[in-house]
Chain A
Amino acid sequence: MLPRPGTAPPALLNRLLEDERSLAYLLLTPTIVLLALFIAYPFVLGTWLAVSSTTVGVAGHFVGFKNFAKAWDDSIFRTAAFNTFLYTGVTTVFKLALGIWLAVLLNRHFYGKRLIRAFVLLPFIIPTVLSTFAWKWMFDPTFSVINWALWKLDLITMRINWLGDPYLSLASVMIVNVWRGVPFYAISLLAGLQTISPELHEAAAIDGANAWQRFWRVTWPLLLPVTMVVVLFSVIQTFADFQLVYVLTGGGPANATHLFATYAYQIGVGTGLLSEGAAISLAMFPVLFLVVVLQLWYIRRVETR
């Protein structure tokens, strides 16, 4: 971008680069082009696909809301929708509770704190698909190490078929999601905790508040803004999750553990029914939109306060 010595840059370009407005648009061009091409355009195309009858290799025509109506009549779609809400709700509660707990623990002073903190984040940074395979192996019907441990501890007498039973397999997927999400909550909330002055706690303690009261009356209100943002982020990610279910159960047994995204993949990519797949994945849009609006509104409110 810098003018090279020897080659005099044209005066027009120089003027453009010196003008605040035109420089701004110039700097934003690469970003806008990429995002328009690979976010905005797919969104428009996806909406068109969802209201047309396109399959792989066959151009479709406009069919209105037929794909959505068909999805709604499909019992697997309804199970997927129910699963997605349940999955998001249950895991978010657990991730938040355990995440705050871990953050509070990590906020204390102890030997090896930095090392422990670095290790805690591993489930979040290691490729999800790869760590999920380790879980799949731990949930193996015959060689499950979890079963072995529970059996050795005399907690079970029979094998638990973690991924074979419809309800249990959804619970297993939730366990892995919580495992992967807790570090993200904990480390983000820890950053929030570190901004809270310890003097506030000391003052509250001198006034006779016990640890539990100190948490709810001092820590929690001050942590709330960070918590809100972390939760909204995580809700979006969880609601649109794909990898865990794809690897652990593939939507099975008997299509009982599908989420919106995995079912959209099965229909759109597996079967090649592009339009129906696009409609299923667009069905996520209203909820995601709502969460994003909520998040923008909340950030605005915090900023203007």
Chain B
Amino acid sequence: MIEGGRGKRWAYFSCPLFVFIVALLFPFYWMLVTTFRPDGELYRPWNRPNYTPFWTTNPTLEHIYYLFRETLFSAWLWNTMFIAIVSTMISLFCGLLAGYALARLRFRLAGGLGTSIFVTYLVPPTLLFIPLADIIRTFRLADTPWALILTYPTFLIPFCTWLLMGYFKTIPKELEECARIDGASRVQAMVKIIFPIATPGILSAGIFAFTLSWNEFIYALVFINTPQQKTVPVGVVSELIRGDVFFWGPLMAGALLGSIPVALIYSFFVEHYVAGLTGSVKG
């Protein structure tokens, strides 16, 4: 690109970028500071002398201790992890098979089924949560992790299928044909030749699906009532508030610790995540 002088670069580039980054990251910084700030400092009026809102002089772990000792936070973490992993596995399995069929096999309904899977991808959970809650009750799944493990794939499978279809389409047909000439069956060619090539796609779809199910809220809110069975987002919302009182220390500690697993996975696989994200909108 053609660059202007230093001042111009500062005004048109560095300064706006800096403002963007501060605005986008400040809430997380605020979570962090609140987590380690003692209660006495949290609820202190502005006009007090020595008011230092952006850091704390005597950090404390009391909110984190409270979270693990007095609440079911560790159970929620475990539930969320378990549900996210199992529903991601189910979705990857279904998405791999379906994506392969839609991308590489010729059959009459391919176009129609592909479109309908894409349409289900666009169905927001808030459209169907009331009848779905009724169905979950009928199947006697309410208040069990299976209520979520079985319903999360409804928005994960379409995404995985769509993303993997894109990957499968780029693999040349000849590869499979060679394997078949060498005596491999269709299924063998699929599992041993095509799936391994699609590994980056599988990883992207998996990471993305995991974060989506970790973040899901409304199904978890409606289908689960027992405090022990809740997921992190729902547990933090419903169990850390007593009546109208917000305990901001533990709340922010819960928000921070509940975000760390996703943030960690994301940080290891940024490129895959971004590939998943952009692949999901490219169609």
Contacts and interface: CB of A to CB of B under 8 A. Distances in A.
A20 B215 contact: no
Contact of A27 (B34, B101, B118, B150): B101
Given A131-B259, A288-B127, A242 B278 contact: no
Interface stretch (A69-77, A165-173, A226-234): A226-234
A42 B222 CA distance: 15
Contact of B129 (A133, A281, A292): A281
A46 B153 contact: no
A41 B139 CA distance: 13
Contacts of B282: 191, 226, 229
Contacts of A63: none
A130 B248 CA distance: 12
A237 interface: yes
A39 interface: yes
Interface string B113-130: 101011110111111111
Given A20-B106, A31-B95, A134-B255, A42 B117 contact: no
A184 interface: yes
Interface string B215-227: 1011001100000
A90 interface: no
A34 B157 contact: yes
B283 A229 contact: yes
A285 interface: yes
A136 B30 CA distance: 11
A46 B128 CA distance: 7
Nearest to A101: B16
Nearest to B43: A143
A164 B132 CA distance: 33
Contacts of A30: 93-94, 97-98
A247 B237 contact: yes
- Which A-B residue pairs are the 9 nearest by beta carbons? A240-B124, A46-B131, A261-B126, A130-B255, A191-B278, A27-B97, A45-B131, A27-B101, A129-B233
12 contacts: A24-B110, A109-B1, A127-B215, A128-B215, A133-B236, A135-B27, A201-B1, A229-B283, A246-B221, A247-B237, A260-B126, A274-B130
Given A130-B258, A133-B236, 15 more contacts: A17-B187, A28-B102, A34-B94, A38-B154, A42-B131, A114-B270, A130-B255, A134-B252, A179-B23, A236-B124, A240-B127, A264-B126, A264-B130, A269-B130, A278-B131
